[in-house]
Amino acid sequence: MEMLQKRVADGSILRLVGKCLHVGVLDGEEFTEPSLGTVQGSTLSPLLGNAYLHYVLDRWFTEEVRPRLKGKAVLVRYADDGVLGFERQDDAQRVMAVLGKRLERFGLTLHPEKTRLLAFQRPLRSRGEGRSPTTFDFLGFCWYWRRTRKGSWTVACKTRRARLARAIKAVHTWCRENRHLPIRQQHAALSRRVQGHLNYFGVNGNMASLDRFALQVRRSWFKWLNRRSQRARLTWDRFNDLLRDFPLPQPRIVVHIWR
């Protein structure tokens, strides 16, 4: 609350937030009140978490850490996921040594599996492979170095393998569970799911992952439409005719990260 008071002057809003922090949870006949933090799943949790990390991490890094470093450094954070980039390895090692202690002062911990140091510098131009072996995952994307058509190296991203598999499985499960709904209703709901995925992952350089997702969506829909009845069999020709009447969103680049 002390951190919110620095930016929020409206006392009614602060009182409302304070009440939300102490609201209880009724699970059947059991009533519990949180002694620390917000209730699990609370809509207030991401908002307060973002404000909390703004003071715990963002301002600390900008005002105290970066001026003491020998090289350039940058912090990119979204909610509780973040990437810190350093020009010098010794700067990265120094910050890594104190970052955990800084978070512990405020009751936070680093994820032991996701927190790591890696060298992500531009590969040598003489390197023979088309991709750099060093990669990292951030916000559902896998980031890596790849060669351009001119032979130089550039940063690229694609949908993380586990995230893509999870999205394909979710569509497959939805098609199975809703295969008996009217075609028009299935098409409307499926289009919203597909469009949401394409809007988020539709960045330049990720077209191969988008095409793979769209292909698996069509296969899943065809499979479970084909199992609506034991008598009528849906062929691919008839399914393609159906897609002309009920087209699914096509993969396209929505955001150009690099020009």
pLDDT in tens, 218-238: 999 999 998 887 776 888 999
DSSP line for 161-189:
HHHHHHHHHHHHHHHHHTTTS-HHHHHHH
Q: What is the pTM of this model?
A: 0.79
**Closest residue by Cα to residue 114 from 76, 91, 158, 80:** 80
DSSP secondary structure of 124-135: PTT--SSB-S--
> Within a 10 A sphere around the Cβ of 183, how many other Cβ atoms?
13
pLDDT for 76 equals 93
Q: What are phi and psi of 248, to 5 degrees?
A: -90, 155
Per-residue pLDDT at 191: 96
Q: Does 189 or 26 have the greater pLDDT score?
A: 189
Do residues 14 and 3 touch, judged by C-beta distance below 8 A? no
Q: Tell me: the pLDDT tens digits for 154-178?
A: 889 999 999 999 999 999 999 999 9
State the chain's mean pLDDT as an integer.
86
